[in-house]
Amino acid sequence: GAESNGEEAPPPPPLSDQMAAIVGVQRATRFRLVKLLWRYIKQHELQDPSDKRFINCDVKLQKAFGQERVSAFSMSKFLGPHLLSAEDEDDEEEEEATTAVVKGKSGSKPAAKLAAKRAPGSGGGAKAPKAYTGSAELAKFVGEETNNRFAITKAMWAYIKEHSLQSIPGDKRRIVCDATFKKLFKVDEMTAFSLAKHIATHFPAKVEKA
C-alpha cells in the first residue's frame, strides 16, 4: 500500500508564543520559519528602502529579536530561541539556546540576551560575546559586529550574487568589484578563492610583544 512503514516524519518544532503570533503558525521548521518571516517582513514593508539588506523591526519583531534593526544575513541567528525543540542536533549553540528557553518558559528571556550568551567564543555562559576584532567598515557591510568568518563569507556571497559581480561569462571564479567592494577591499577584481584572504585584511593580526 501507499502507507509508510509506520515511520512518520517527526513534527516540526513548536514555536514560541511570540513567534507564533508573528507568523501565524504554531509549528515550523527553521526553513519554513525563515520563509514565513520574509512574507511578514514584505507584507509590512519592513525592509529598509535605502538598503534592502536591513530590516527595520516593528514592535512584534523588536520583542522577538531584542533589536530595532537586524541585517537579513544575521536574522537567522535570532531564531534559535523561538524554535522550542532541538532541530539541529549537531548545532550545540542552537541547542543550548533552545534548552534555555524551554527551561526558562517560552519567551521569558529576550532573544538578544540568549544570542549573546551563545555567541561563539563567549566561553561557558559568559555574559558578553567575544569582543569584535574586525574593522568598522566590515561590520557596516555585514550589518553586525561578528567574528564568525562563515557568517561574513555568507553575507559576501549573497551580495556578490545579488549584484551579479561574477560578471565574466564562463568564469564564475572571478569577482569584479563594484564601488562598495572596491571601497571595502581596495581592489578592482578578486577570485572566489582569494575572498577569504581579503576578508582577513579586516581582522588585523595581534601584535605579539617580544
State yes or no: pLDDT of 125 exceeds 70.
no
Residue given cell 530595532 in the structure block? 68
| Residue among 5, 190, 67, 97 at smallest CA distance from 88 | 97
Average pLDDT, the chain: 78
Q: Is the pLDDT of residue 101 over 50?
A: no
Segments in 44-142 forming alpha helices (H):
59-65, 92-103, 111-117, 136-142
pLDDT greater than 60 at residue 111: no
* The three grid cell numbers given for residue 193, joined into one nine-digit string: 578563492
Q: What share of the chain is helix, strand, coil (3-state, %, to 5)?
A: 40, 10, 50
Banded model confidence at residue 75, pLDDT cuts 50, 70, 90 = confident
Task: Report the range of poorest mean pLDDT among 95-104, 108-117, 123-132, 168-177.
Answer: 95-104
